[in-house]
A and B are shown apart, each in its own frame.
Chain A
Amino acid sequence: MASHELPLAGSYDDLLVALSIVIAILASYAALDLARRVTAAQGRARILWLTGGATAMGFGIWSMHYIGMLAFRLPVPVQYDWPTVLLSLVAAILASAIALFVVSRHKMGVIRAFLGSTLMGSGIAAMHYIGMAAMRLPAMCHYSLALVTLSVVLAIVISLVALFLTFYFRGETTAWSWRKILSALVMGAAIPVMHYSGMAAASFTASPSEHQDLSHAVNVSSLSAAGIVIVAVMVLGLVPLASLTFDSLSTTRQLAARYFLSLGVISVLTILGTLLVQRQGRESQSDARVVNISGRQRMLSQAIAKDALLVAHSRDTAERQRLVEDLRSLDTLWHQSHSGLNRGDPELGVPGMNSPEIRRMFVVLEPDYDAISRATQEMITKVSKENEPADVSGEVSAILAHEGPYLKAMNAIVFEYESEATTRASGENRLYFGLLLFVLGVLLLQGLLVLRPALTRIQQGISQLELAKQALYRKATFLELLQAVAVAANEAPSVETALQFTLDRICKHTGWPVGHVYFVAKKTRTELISSTLWHLDDAPKFAAFRQVTRETPLPIGRGLPGRVAENAKPLWIPDINEDTNFPRRSAAFDLGVKGAFGFPVLAQGEVVAVLEFFSNKIEKPDDELLTVMANVSAQLGQVIERTGAQQELARKVEDLARSNADLELFAYVASHDLQEPLRMVASYTQLLARRYQGKLGAEADEFIGFAVDGATRMQQLIQDLLSYSRLTTRAKKHSFTSAEAACRSALENLRESVKSSNALVSVEPLPTVLGDATQLTQLFQNLVGNAIKYRNERRPEIRVAAKPNGNEWTFSVQDNGIGIEPQYSERIFQMFQRLHTRGEYSGTGIGLAICKKIVENHGGKIWVESQPGHGTTFLFTIPWPERTEI
């Protein structure tokens, strides 16, 4: 037949184009990740990563290319020579290997980059054109050299860009960094550009397909297309998945990642399945049409035969013309359908993609077809040309002769078409079911890998929480117990009350029926005395036990309490029947007592009491209870120590009071009884002086004078000593006193001496202090008195003032008297120390010692600052009262 030299216009299936771009992006992303892996790996691992990565990436690139090719629809059937296809895959893998190798080196210099990109670009171009070469179709492929060159250059340039991006971002460790994603997008967009420019370089013109080697040609159905997409997605998807499990994500994140991944896989599969179903629909539509049309061929041929016969037998010209017209239209349709079935016809809606078997059948059919066709044509020409009935018998017989074999062959073809369609449909059904099963499998896997671990973790979490809650509850109850005991211990008026409370509380808390306290004998410290402190849930029942306890002497080391006291540690007996050192065992056994437990109460490191408890069940040691008991015993120990200390304190206070009373009595007696003989001496010597003055001689007078003088002084000294001692024994409790009032009072007492010395005394505002009014008066009296006494020829000017200083008041008594030399500033405060003779200034020298004692009683200090000849300032401090004193 006529060979058509028509250019074949190709079209692109948008969906597949989109898919190819998606695969390209995935492949780029995987490339980036792989680059990081390879760079990071060493030795054998590196080689493993390199080969595996190259395979995955190569497959990705190749599948992108392939889907792109499948997206390209031509009016003629296209098949692929699978060995060549495999070769293109190899080319893709090699190109990837080169790329990964280059980017995983330490440095990527310009030269290396260019070399690498050239190799890689050439590899990719090679893959592309080898892939094109694998096409088997009834068409000639022409390549525009300019576009081919452009596509190769583009391949090299894009490879260069890809290498750079991959090299510089290979360090990105985060799985979803925007840099990586951006690079993936860029590369993912660029690679299809390269591919489609390569496709644009090719143009097809129709030509018979016999020239090509079809021995290995296969149809690439939607089935395979779907398969390629799935595998590509999964392979590329594995790369980040591999990273995900190696990265040290938390378990929760890993689970979530797995979950989302499986969701992703399922959605991809679902989309693919839907696409598949759509495709299947379209394909079955086209299959149906093919079967239809091929079926119609039979009918048409029969109609042609019939018409031919009719023409032959018809004498009516009009009828013959009509028949011929009919024949013509039939023949045209028949012809069109035949060529459509073989080469495809968009008008008829047949793709023209025939399997080898069908082609073979058509070849068999061809002679008959040609014969019929020729005969028909001749007949048409003859009849339409001549008006009179022509002799078409030859043609008719030719037609009839070939009709039979034609029909038979066509039947076979129709049958073949049908069975192929059915096989395809069932194959696709199988694939569909396979896909469904796969989805189910993924769901199941997800259930195993995600749900179950997650549920297990949740369950574990809950059980842990449960345990924690229980532990917390136990701790809370123990704390409560401890707190109650602590409060009781603090508030209890006596040790016994605290102990009884503790017994009751512990028994209530543990549910044990019997509790009891033993005291360590204070005097001997070698045995335990049973106290009357018991806690009995059932008093009558345990009365016998009480009795036995009272009657059983327990030296230290014997029995439960004995051992506890000996070791100063708690003791737990799960079952007393198993215990050898338990004297009261028989009595306890009769009452059904099984478990026993005792703990010591320590005061100042020594065991003073032992608490014991009994239970009617065999009890396992409870560590928490033991810890709480240790705390309880500490509290009780503190109570005992405290009461002991309080008693000690009361005793000491009593002793002090007694001692003070004794001292006071002594002082009183001393003054009183010493005074009397003194008076005798003084009075009679004076009487002597009066009566016998001048009669005994000057010497006698002198002697008498000294005697009297001595006695008088002695009395004064005794008075001074007495008032000094009274500062302590008569010390009153300090209260808020006005220092100013005390000073005024002192001045009142000194009225006479102030008047007689014509002293000018100025008192500045003085504060209120915490102290003893009497003593403060004495203090001021002594100081001001001294100031007046130790005056010089000037008029005495005395100034009393007070100044706040931190947390105390500093008082000052300043005069303009004779002053004190610095080396004596300590000595003057000592008892009976004087710096002048009695003749110069009167006094016993007790005044300042009394001042010092008073100041010390008030918690202060006293000192002197003086300039001999100019004056003296006595300074003393009285602290502000502490909060606790108020």
Chain B
Amino acid sequence: MSSRTIEILLVEDNPGDVRLTLEAFKEGRVLNNFTVMSDGVEALAYLRRQGQYANAVQPDLILLDLNLPKKDGREVLAEIKVDERLMKIPVVVLTTSAAEEDIARAYSRHANCYITKPVDLNQFLNVVHSIESFWLTLVKLPPQ
């Protein structure tokens, strides 16, 4: 159990989904601070602390959707995982697609894990809790 606030970057373009995710995490136990980016370009700029994001905080965990406008989540993943500074940040691909190729490709781009968003709300809440207990409680995140 960590006392510090965990910084989570959520890259998701659907506001409904964003809200859902946030609501789910609210019911959790770990203190977390969410930053939401709604497209790939912005997300990368944020991570690289470019432009208006010069003072961005490096997140401890990235929740990444695959279907994003401008720059695709798959590309973002690829870029993150080749960036020296960013590659250590765990990326959880959280997407609706259950397509095998997407899963395969994500892992080959070194995604840390791949989760399919269930349709059912309860299931979704369970997923989020699982993410919480695993990634935010159990797992030792890389030091800042």
Contacts and interface: CB of A to CB of B under 8 A. Distances in A.
A, B co-complexed: yes
A678 B16 CA distance: 12
Contacts of A112: none
Contact of A686 (B14, B117, B122): B122
A672 B67 CA distance: 9
Nearest to A711: B119
Nearest to B14: A676
A687 interface: yes
Contacts of B122: 686
Interface string A670-700: 0110011011101110110110000000000
B121 A682 contact: yes
B17 interface: yes
B97 interface: yes
Contact of A676 (B20, B23, B96, B121): B96
A354 interface: no
Q: Among the interface residues A679, A682, A687, A712, which one has the most CB atoms of the partner chain B within 10 A?
A: A679
A715 interface: yes
B14 A668 contact: no
Given A668-B99, A672-B97, A687-B23, A680 B121 contact: no
B6 to A, nearest CB: 24
B83 interface: no
Contact of B16 (A668, A680, A715): A680
A683 B96 contact: no
Contact of A712 (B17, B117, B120): B120
Interface string A778-789: 000000000000
A686 B120 contact: yes
Interface in B120-140: 120-122, 124
Interface in B11-25: 14, 16-17, 20, 23
A679 B119 contact: yes
Contacts of B67: 672, 676
A684 B124 CA distance: 11
Nearest to A684: B16
Contact of B14 (A672, A680, A690): A680
A429 B67 CA distance: 140
Interface in B81-124: 96-97, 99, 117, 119-122, 124
Contacts of B16: 680, 683-684
Contacts of A679: 17, 96, 117, 119
Nearest to B96: A675
A689 B97 CA distance: 26
Given A676-B96, A679-B96, A680-B16, A687 B121 contact: yes
A321 B16 CA distance: 197
B121 A678 contact: no
Contacts of A668: 99
Contacts of A675: 96-97, 119
B124 A683 contact: yes
Contacts of A712: 119-120
Contacts of B96: 672, 675-676, 679
A678 B119 contact: yes
Interface string A216-228: 0000000000000
Interface residues of A, number: 18
Q: Among the interface residues B67, B99, B120, which one has the most CB atoms of the partner chain A within 10 A?
A: B120
Contacts, number: 43
Contacts of A678: 119
Contact of B120 (A671, A672, A682, A684): A682
B97 A686 contact: no
Interface in A152-173: none
A678 B124 CA distance: 14
Nearest to B125: A690
Contacts of A680: 14, 16-17
Nearest to B97: A672
Nearest to A715: B119
B99 A682 contact: no
A398 to B, nearest CB: 172
A712 B97 CA distance: 16
Contacts of A689: 121
Contacts of B119: 675, 678-679, 682-683, 711-712, 715
Contacts of B117: 679
A394 to B, nearest CB: 178
A487 B34 CA distance: 76
Contacts of B97: 672, 675
A789 to B, nearest CB: 21
B121 A690 contact: yes
Nearest to B95: A672
A682 B124 CA distance: 11
A686 B123 CA distance: 11
B127 to A, nearest CB: 12
Nearest to B121: A686
Q: Among the interface residues A671, A672, A682, A683, which one has the most CB atoms of the partner chain B within 10 A?
A: A683
Q: Among the interface residues B97, B119, B120, which one has the most CB atoms of the partner chain A within 10 A?
A: B119
Contacts of B23: 687
Contacts of A671: 99
A408 B124 CA distance: 179
A686 B122 CA distance: 8
A692 to B, nearest CB: 13
Interface string A177-208: 00000000000000000000000000000000
Interface string B1-35: 00000000000001011001001000000000000
A687 B20 contact: yes
Contacts of B120: 682-683, 686, 712
A765 B54 CA distance: 68
A662 B4 CA distance: 50
Contacts of B124: 683
Nearest to A675: B96
Contact of A672 (B17, B20, B99, B121): B99
A711 B120 CA distance: 9
A12 to B, nearest CB: 130
B117 to A, nearest CB: 6
A672 B96 CA distance: 7
A487 B96 CA distance: 60
A206 B97 CA distance: 156
Contacts of B14: 676, 680
A684 B17 CA distance: 9
A676 B20 CA distance: 13
A683 B124 CA distance: 8
A686 B120 CA distance: 8
Nearest to B13: A676
A671 B119 CA distance: 13
Contacts of A684: 16, 20
Nearest to A719: B98
A686 B121 CA distance: 6
A720 to B, nearest CB: 13
A680 B124 CA distance: 12
Nearest to A673: B67
B141 to A, nearest CB: 28
Given A672-B67, A676-B14, A683 B121 contact: yes
A684 B16 CA distance: 8
Nearest to B124: A683
A688 to B, nearest CB: 9
User: Which 9 pairs between the two chains have the least Cβ-Cβ distance?
Assistant: A686-B121, A680-B16, A675-B96, A682-B119, A683-B121, A715-B119, A679-B119, A683-B20, A676-B96
25 contacts: A668-B99, A672-B96, A675-B97, A675-B119, A676-B14, A678-B119, A679-B17, A679-B96, A679-B117, A679-B119, A680-B14, A680-B17, A683-B16, A683-B20, A683-B119, A683-B121, A683-B124, A684-B16, A686-B121, A686-B122, A689-B121, A690-B121, A711-B119, A712-B119, A715-B119
Interface of B: 14, 16-17, 20, 23, 67, 96-97, 99, 117, 119-122, 124
Given A680-B17, A690-B121, 16 more contacts: A668-B99, A672-B67, A675-B97, A676-B14, A676-B96, A678-B119, A679-B117, A682-B120, A682-B121, A683-B119, A683-B121, A684-B20, A686-B121, A687-B20, A689-B121, A712-B120
